[in-house]
Amino acid sequence: MAAAFLAYFTISGMETGKLIIPQRGSETFISSIGHVDGRINLYKTEILTKEIDQPDFGHRPLMDLCMMASKLAYENKTVVRDVVNLHWKMHFVDFYNCWNDYQKERSTQVFILCDKPKDANLILISFRGTEPFDADDWITDFDYSWYEIPKLGKVHMGFLEALGLGNRGNTSTFHEQLFVKNAKYTNSENVDPNSGSDQSSSDSEQSPNKTAYYAVRNKLKSLLKEHENAKFVVTGHSLGGALAILFPTMLVMHEEVKVMQRLLGVYTYGQPRIGNRQLGKFMEAHLEHPVPKYFRVVYCNDLVPRLPYDDKTFLYKHFGICMYYNSLYIEQKVDEEPNRNFFGLRFVLPVYLNAGWEFIRSFTNGYIYGSEYKESWDSVLLRFVGLFVPGISAHSPVDYVNSIRLGRERSIQMSSF
């Protein structure tokens, strides 16, 4: 996994500066996403866990926690633990670096936190998204292959593989994972759920059959039993958002009724499509009653939510409630984001004009909204790239965090303010 390296000089007395290169897995090793948006503080944490029995788009602190956790998932275990424990004053549970049998590497990362170590009210599961310089991640996003599950629908094959639920090289493995109880192929039922390790762990420290779905499901069951009043939230940005909604989909398929009764909500940001219309209708029946529990946030011209294509050939469809933010951070509740397939002559000029406006705005936000909105040079560079490939720069976590914190003219009543 590629990440941006941070190098800096330290001066001791009159000695010459010494170059220090942070070690992978250490508290000073920050991902490329972390350099693009270095913010770690939460939005109004004092009301975070109040009035969350009925999640909606109006509970901005909860939305912000989910987005910040989605961004934090790009970091290594040490950084995640320090931010959760020291800055957010919450309880870090574990970090999982899980096996993708198709890619033959541990390419799926996820961490879990609780709002407090004892008698927790909230359990949060955050899946890591698409690394900007990881070709495998982008290949997964642009993949159009799917696996058809009877009664459920067609599901994106790459996302199933990322959760550890099969391998297209041996398609019988999907049947083993999806239909055979206590499957052996990638079953983590016998893997210690507390054995999560960071990316620097050696192969001997982690079982090669440890996959995200089973590891997280086992730990979640344990936490729900330990914290009797707790509910859980699943979140993720980009690829992480796809895994975030696919995780409860598999819980429903495997008839984990008691676990699903404790689901508070699923919040995704810049999430690609995961399946066809049949899948959407199946999950809406489980996530919209008695109250909506699945909320999908899309910023402006972000390319990733427009993938895979929703057309007569590919038939991928979004489902759930969508909150769309334009480049002025004005929000609107919609069924589908505009320009749903990211092509069409009438959208070309507006897309490039938006990219130019976003590049100019990157120099002014800090003066208008305060120092926490000042963009890093890495973010400005990404905006510059966006002048040529607008859909990529619009995928940045910077705009998703800003949308939640600065969003205005809400189309629904806010429940917390």
Catalytic residues: 238, 302, 395
- What single string gives the DSSP state of each residue in 127-162? E----TT-HHHHHHHH---EEEETTTEEEEHHHHHH
Among 348, 350, 379, 351, which Cα is nearest to 363's?
A: 379
CA 72, 75, 81, 86 dihedral sign is negative
CA distance 263 to 30: 31
Q: Tokens 């975030």 identify what position?
A: 244
Q: Tokens 């927790």 identify what position?
A: 120
Token pair of 30 as six digits? 């920050």
Among 329, 295, 267, 327, which Cα is nearest to 68's?
A: 267
CA atoms within 13 A on the CB side of 218: 19
Contact 305, 331 (CB under 8 A): no
Q: What is the CB neighbour count within 10 angstroms for residue 302?
A: 27
CA distance 375 to 269: 20
